[in-house]
Amino acid sequence: MGFAEWWQGLQRRLSRTTPQLVLGHRNLYILPSSFGGLWLLSCIVLYLIGINGGSNSPVLLAFLMAGLLLISLFLTHFNLQGLKLEVLPQRLGFADQDQVYAIKTISKTWRPSIKWRWLQPGAPEQQLQHIRPGHQRLELRWHTHQRGLHLPGRLLIHTTAPLGLFRCWCYWEPPEPIWVAPARQRGPVQLFASDNNKAAQLNSATNKRSGSELFEELRPWRPEEGLQRVDWKARARGRGWVAKRFSDIGSSELWIGPAQQLPFEIALEHLCDRLCQETAAGNAVGLRLPNNTQLPPANGHQHLEHCLRALAQLPLPRCP
């Protein structure tokens, strides 16, 4: 077994997998930093020079540096000791983008210069955070190239504050997974016809205003709407200033699915982008997937997240 495998095994044994973690003596580890090692070496050299040369000044300076080193040991440990971490509900993300992993910190004191870094391969660079007293929400960047349900892996929490002479650290594996939808890519999708949509278009053919809008009702006219919506016939009959209200009949019965002529993952990326576009436009959209999953047309953020989660949990294609 090589050094890399031994080191990873040691990290697994030292890490904690709990939704809540209080940093303390059982899970914090501290050693001198590289700067602290040079500082300690300088103390030894000064002490030897003072002893051999019969001078008290280098010896006094060596004792002062050693005392500062000892004080830094406790100050660095106290910077993490007592910090409470909690995993928050995670938002759905998209593949090939930096995800946001939410963590809540609870602290009684100000804690400067705490660094956070995911230990998985290809993880973003470490983040530097100053923890203020009370409750604070931290959003840690995390990255993945594949859709599905993922755990972010092992998180390294460490600090060298306030003097940089010691490095105190802790390993934590948050157990809350995060859903990752396919990456968004503009492209063609498969459209499905709806019998209800056809019937609505036939029954409302005489009421259509611009080919895609359906007359709903009359309501009082407001000057900022312009004159194009004024019902001039009602105005001529003495009914006052009223405006026509229309609604889009096509948006209520839009069904989409992955394009069959494209590779499956690329078709899902196109489908994901189309779902986001239709929801942003306020249109109701339904989803039909190859595994016989059907989500009726609806709109809103909750429906979009339900559809994206259905795309994320589709079986991944097997490698040949």
72 and 143 co-located in one domain? yes
Q: Is the pLDDT of residue 262 over 90?
A: no
Q: In the predicted model, what is the mean pLDDT of residues 40-61? A: 92
9 lies in a domain? no
**CB contact at 8 A, 80 and 160:** no
Q: What is the pLDDT of residues 129-148, one digit of tens each?
A: 999 999 999 999 988 888 99
Q: Is residue 318 part of a domain?
A: no
Q: In terms of domains, do 302 and 236 share one?
A: yes
Specify if 156 maps to a domain.
Answer: yes
Distance CA(277)–CA(189), nearest Å, equals 12
Of 4 and 150, more confident: 150
Q: Both 122 and 200 in a single domain?
A: no
Q: Is the pLDDT of residue 217 over 60?
A: no
For residues 204 and 288, the model is more confident at: 288
Q: Is residue 116 part of a domain?
A: yes
Angle between helices 301-312 and 264-280 (to 10 degrees): 180
Among residues 181, 202, 220, which one ends one of the domains? 181
Pick 249 or 61 by higher pLDDT: 61
Q: Is residue 217 part of a domain?
A: yes
Domain boundary among 181, 202, 235: 181
Task: Say what the pLDDT of residue 228 is.
Answer: 64
- Structural domain total, the chain: 2
User: What percent of the chain is predicted at pLDDT more than 90?
Assistant: 48
Q: How far is the C-alpha of 172 from the C-alpha of 18, rounded, in Å?
A: 8
pLDDT at 6: 63
* Burial classification of residue 1, based on how many CB atoms lie within 10 Å of its CB (0-12 exposed, 13-18 middle, 19 or more buried): exposed
Q: Give the pTM.
A: 0.72
The residue ranges of DSSP E strands in the chain, in sequence order, are 20-22, 29-32, 84-87, 93-94, 97-107, 111-118, 127-131, 134-144, 148-150, 155-159, 166-172, 178-181, 190-192, 213-220, 242-248, 254-257, 285-288, 294-298
Instruction: Check whether residue 157 and residue 300 sit in a common domain.
Output: no
196 and 175 in a single domain? The answer is: no
Residues 148 and 54 reside in one and the same domain: yes
Tens-place pLDDT, residues 152-192? 889 999 999 999 999 999 999 999 999 999 999 988 888 87
The pLDDT of residue 208 is 39
Has residue 2 been placed in a domain? no
Comparing 90-94, 111-115, 193-197, the range with the smallest average pLDDT is: 193-197
Of 246 and 61, the structure prediction assigns the larger pLDDT to 61
Identify whether residues 119 and 194 lie together within a single domain: no
Mean pLDDT of the chain: 83
Residue 6 lies in a domain: no
Same domain, 106 and 239: no
Higher pLDDT, 206 or 78: 78
Is residue 140 domain-shared with residue 208, that is, in the same domain? no
Q: Are residues 50 and 144 in the same domain?
A: yes
Secondary structure of 263-281 in the HEC alphabet? CHHHHHHHHHHHHHHHHHC
Domain end residue (candidates: 121, 147, 181): 181
Answer with the residue of higher pLDDT: 231 or 114: 114
In a domain, 129, yes or no: yes
Taking only the tens place, the pLDDT of each residue in 59-100 is: 999 999 999 999 999 999 999 999 999 999 999 999 988 888
Domain that holds residue 267: 190-312
Residues 128 and 222 in one domain: no
Are 107 and 153 within one domain? yes
